[in-house]
Chain A
Amino acid sequence: EAQVTQNPRYLITVTGKKLTVTCSQNMNHEYMSWYRQDPGLGLRQIYYSMNVEVTDKGDVPEGYKVSRKEKRNFPLILESPSPNQTSLYFCASSPYRGLAYNEQFFGPGTRLTVL
Chain B
Amino acid sequence: SQQGEEDPQALSIQEGENATMNCSYKTSINNLQWYRQNSGRGLVHLILIRSNEREKHSGRLRVTLDTSKKSSSLLITASRAADTASYFCALDSGQNFVFGPGTRLSVLP
CB proximity of A86 to chain B, nearest CB, Å: 14
Cβ–Cβ contact A104 & B40, under 8 A = no
Q: Given A43-B88, A105-B45, A106-B42, decide whether A100 and B100 contact each other with a Cβ distance below 8 A.
A: no
Cβ–Cβ contact A100 & B92, under 8 A = yes
Q: Is there a chain A Cβ closer than 8 Å to B64's Cβ?
A: no
By a CB distance below 8 angstroms, the chain A residues around B100 are: 42
Stretch in A11-19, A33-41, A62-70, A71-79 touching the partner = A33-41
Give Cα A56–Cα B30 distance, bound, in whole angstroms: 19
Q: Which of B4-37 contact A (CB under 8 A)?
A: 30-31, 33, 35
Q: Given A56-B96, A103-B33, decide whether A90 and B102 contact each other with a Cβ distance below 8 A.
A: no
By a CB distance below 8 angstroms, the chain B residues around A35 are: 99
Q: Is there a chain B Cβ closer than 8 Å to A88's Cβ?
A: yes
By a CB distance below 8 angstroms, the chain A residues around B41 are: 108-109
> How many residues of chain B have a CB within 8 Å of chain A?
25
Interface size classification for chain A: 20 to 34
CB proximity of A108 to chain B, nearest CB, Å: 5
Cβ–Cβ contact A45 & B40, under 8 A = no
Cβ–Cβ contact A42 & B102, under 8 A = yes
Give Cα A100–Cα B98 distance, bound, in whole angstroms: 14
Q: Which of B65-109 contact A (CB under 8 A)?
A: 88, 90, 92, 94-102
Complex interface bits, A31-58 against B, C-beta within 8 A gives 1, otherwise 0: 0010100001111110010100000101
Determine which of B40, B42, B99 lies in contact with A42 in the assembled complex, contact meaning CB atoms within 8 Å.
B99
Most chain B beta carbons < 10 A, residue from A42, A102, A106? A42
Given A33-B96, A103-B48: 4 more A-B contacts, CB < 8 Å: A42-B100, A56-B96, A100-B30, A102-B31
Question: Which residues of B approach A to under 8 Å, CB–CB?
Answer: 1, 30-31, 33, 35, 40-45, 48, 50, 88, 90, 92, 94-102
